[in-house]
Amino acid sequence: MGRIGALPGVPPLLAGVALLVAWEFAARLIGISGLPPATDALAQLPAILSDPESLLDIAASLRRMAIGFALALVVATPVGLMMGRSRTVAAFFNPLLMVIYPVPKAALMPIIMLWLGVGDASKTLVIFLGVSLPVIYHSYQGSRAVEEKVLWSAAAMGMDAPARLFHIVLPAALPEILIGCRTGLVLALITMVTSEMIARQTGVGNILFNALDMAQYDTVYAMIVIIGILGFLLDFVFERLRLRLVGWAEPAADIIVGTT
Amino acid sequence: MSARLATLRDGLVGLIPILLILAVWQAIAVSGIAPRALLPLPGAVGARLIDQLGSPTYLQHAATTLLRLFTGFGIAVALGIALGVAATASRPVEAGLMPLVRVLAPVPKIALYPALVLMLGFEDSSKIALVVADAVFPILLATYHGMRTVEPKLAWVAHAVGVGRLRCTFTVVLPAALPSVLTGCRVALVISCIVVFLAEMIMSTDGLGHLLVRAARNFQTVDMFVPLITISLLGLTLNAGFNALRRRLLTGFPEEQ
């Protein structure tokens, strides 16, 4: 048991199975149509995943998410890095970011749809906004913590400011930036689902609500399981990637689960 | 003196982008590139906001939202801290709970909302449950990490003078982890604010989120901005208020960062 439990991915898997079992029992015990047993919902999974239309919807959602996420990385990382290196840039952006922070980004959907229409552009923009903030924040923190002496040495050896930002600040801040990306990735999925639940044109959120409207509760729960697995897998894969990329910067104590 | 001058300069520099956005908004609205129906004047939105903040019906909707927000947040604080303490204090609880947290934390909780509506109904309880589901994780994780990184010498001293394990957890370790716990709570508070609004937008008949959706259906652009600004201001105020409370509670703690 101890050895199996130590393998990466096994405790979460056990936890997932435990959740499903608990769900199954609760559903059988309560016995309302609003909570079908886990087995009924899971039985819908093959039907959803083999239906080309819903697969296209899911793919479209993921594509928007990827584009929004990538755009946010490209824009937000340099902004955050520059904020960390220049007091004026930080002073310029900080109050604006503070004001934007509590705005529910997905709630901008109806307004943005007035300007950009109901298509991909609005949803991608909303995802972009949702992801940008954590990435800017973590890049800012990361670049602020870069060792000054390294930068001075580089400057003394004749490296100019943009090159310093790219060759020194970026790699040094990478561990922190990737933490921001991890938060951003989860947020991208959340914003994607939420914006689709609010706009209800295409995508994962739309399948979910169509099923709800037609009282296909099994499908509703199956979609929730799919979205849940998607969230967990994206995070899991990104975390593996992050450990591989910046494992050198990881304090040994930060491995929380799977050690017992 | 020059430090104060620099702070003043920073503050003024920070106003530039906000004023710039307002100016561009005003310019586009006035120039007529965008029809007034799509982009109202900032002044009109501001006037409507002040107008609405004096209207009893609007305040009634805001109160509904606030009630859901605080109920959910309160439950999340109690639950999150309790689970965090339990996970730190007991090995079996930790082994059972943390993998669950690890699976559930990155899942978009908003996707659970239809299920919550099916189980708890259309009214307040499903929205409160969603707020709890979203707010509990930051608090739980902050409590757990905060308590685990407390200087072990503090607990050793308590043990040495004969304080029991359980009592030590509550009177030494938990208070020492307070900065981390409160940071988790602050993050969760803003999340609660956002989530309750989104839940009301998706399915509701009252609350600020519903007002936005209703305005969108009736194509009243100005009224779409007003609830959004209200909830954002609410988030800002709560965040600032919580920060003040946090500073108050943490007097005497070594300042982190």
pLDDT-based confidence at residue A260 (cuts at 50, 70, 90): very low
Pure H helices in B90-220? 91-104, 113-120, 124-148, 152-160, 165-168, 174-176, 178-202, 208-217
pTM: 0.87
Q: B71-129, pLDDT tens digit by residue?
A: 999 999 999 999 999 998 888 998 888 888 888 888 888 888 988 988 888 888 999 99
Note whether A35 contacts B115, CB cutoff 8 Å.
yes
Please give the CATH number for the structural domain made up of B42-249.
Answer: 1.10.3720.10
What is the pLDDT, as a whole number, of residue A60?
Answer: 87
For residue B232 the two structure tokens come to 């954002």
Q: A56-115, pLDDT tens digit by residue?
A: 888 888 999 999 999 999 999 999 999 988 888 888 998 898 888 888 888 888 888 888
Domain boundaries, chain B: 1-39, 42-249
B106 to chain A, closest Cα gap in Å: 6
Would you state the torsion angle of the CA atoms of residues B188, B191, B193, B198, taken in this order, to the nearest 10 degrees?
Answer: -150
Section B122-150 average pLDDT: 91
Q: B8-30, pLDDT tens digit by residue?
A: 888 888 888 889 999 998 888 88
- Closest by CA to B34, choosing from A43, A248, A112, is A112
Residues 15-54 of A with CB under 8 A from B: 15-16, 18-19, 32, 34-35
Section A137-153 average pLDDT: 88
A87: Cα separation from own chain's centroid: 29
Of A12, A95, A227, Cβ closest to residue B102: A12
For residue A21 the two structure tokens come to 């079992």
- Residues in chain A within 8 Å Cβ distance of B221: 111, 114
A217 to chain B, closest Cα gap in Å: 9
Q: Strand ranges (DSSP E) for A10-164?
A: none
Q: Does A255 score more than 50 pLDDT?
A: no
Residues 36-95 of B with CB under 8 A from A: 38-39, 91, 94-95
For residue B94 the two structure tokens come to 């930790």
Residues B165, B110 contacting (CB under 8 angstroms): no
Domain boundaries, chain A: 62-199+235-247
Of A107, A223, A235, Cβ closest to residue B106: A235
Residues 174-203 of B with CB under 8 A from A: 190, 193-194, 197-198, 201-202
What is the pLDDT, as a whole number, of residue A148?
Answer: 85
Mean pLDDT of chain B: 88
Interface test with B, best of A256, A259, A260 (most B CBs within 10 A): A256
More confident residue, A186 or B2: A186
The b/e string for B69-85 (b: 16+ C-beta within 10 A; e otherwise) is bbbbbebbbeebbebbb
The b/e string for A64-84 (b: 16+ C-beta within 10 A; e otherwise) is bbebbbebbbeebbbbbbbbb
pLDDT-based confidence at residue A252 (cuts at 50, 70, 90): very low
Tell me the fold of A62-199+235-247: MetI-like fold (1.10.3720)
